[in-house]
Amino acid sequence: MTTRIHERTQLDPAELDEVLALLDSASDVDGVSPVSEHVLLHLRHGGEREARNLLAREPSGRLVGYAHLDPTDLVGGGAAELAVHPEHRNHGIGKTLVRGLEERTDDGRLRLWAHGRLPGAQALAERLGYREARVLWQLRRSLLSGLPPVELPDGVTLRSFVVGQDEQAWTEVNNRAFADHPDQGGWTLRQIQTREKEPWFDPEGFLLAVREDGSIGGFHWTKIHGRGASAAHHHGGEHAHEPIGEVYALGVDPSMQGQRLGPALTAAGLRYLRSRGLAQVMLYVDESNSAAVALYERLGFTRWDVDVNYRRPASR
């Protein structure tokens, strides 16, 4: 049966409903969202006008596959994610989507994200010549066990984020803290304002470490999954039946390094999540960031799941 690929920059309401239903079906079967928070935000709020959505349809018109191509850095290899409806797997639809994505990038080079290290995704990547290039661990810990104390540096206090006031200052601190990070660095006001519209956004749980002059020295942005509409992270998804907290973003201004502000902010965020009645917390960290992995493991986090970025080696 021939599958046809249709490209859209923006989905109409009917197409959006189809895509979200397909993603939900895949999530229910796989136990993890096939696409990241970035893609879900793009779908729900419009996202980048240059983004490319590929819809794989049967001759009958039924949607059987979906792929999203990030419009940024296409020359370096565009970032892409895809999903195939569980009832239509093993029929070449994934391969068709990947080939369609490759045709829309420079030299056909892609950064393919797969969530959960599922056997089907691994097999597809290997068949098409892709290899693991980056691994993102999901770590978890109980909030019911002992939590570390909040020991702030002298002259630093904690307060919650104020919508309409703190966006610009927070963005500047975030971009300094994550200057070399592929996902969290280089944010714009639009990115935080988009997240403020999400049902999970909770300014009370967006903790800012403020210096005596009022400037932001660091932050711990927490998130709760499983209450209200479900939402996925910038590289993974969480469709938990029980609510779970997340260390969504934790950063310290470079000028505050060496004062143990990071551990204090971590502890404050974990205590906030526990105060909301949650029993567990999760976070994402690069496997290659051994210092961060070691820090979180010392705080009681253990490895739970993994997201993998695949790339095809450059031909010689």
* pLDDT tens-digit series, residues 244-269: 999 999 999 999 999 999 999 999 99
pLDDT tens profile 198-242: 889 999 999 999 999 999 999 999 999 876 433 333 334 444 458
Percent of the chain residues past pLDDT 70, beyond the cut: 90
Tell me how far CA of residue 296 lies from CA of 79, 108, 282, in angstroms. Answer: 28, 37, 10
Helix (H, G, I), strand (E, B) or coil at 273: helix
Q: How many CA atoms lie within 13 A of 258 on its CB side?
A: 2
What sign has the CA pseudo-torsion 249, 255, 172, 73? Answer: negative
| Domains in the chain with CATH codes | 4-129 (3.40.630.30), 138-306 (3.40.630.30)
- Evaluate whether 56 touches 93 at the Cβ level (below 8 Å): yes
**For position 316, what pLDDT does the model report?**
41
Tokens for 118, please give them: 């599922």
Torsion angle of the four alpha carbons 200, 205, 209, 212, in this order, in degrees rounded to the nearest 10: 110
Question: Residues 72-130: pLDDT tens digits?
Answer: 544 455 889 999 999 999 999 999 999 999 998 876 678 899 998 899 999 999 999 99
User: Which residue, 78, 79, 77, 52, is CA-closest to 66?
Assistant: 52
pLDDT given at position 265: 96
- Strand duo 78-84 + 4-8: pairing: unpaired
pTM, two decimals, is: 0.75
Cα Rg for the chain, rounded, in angstroms? 20
- What pLDDT does residue 241 have? 52
- The helix/strand/coil state of 281 is strand
- Which structure tokens are listed for 228? 């209200």
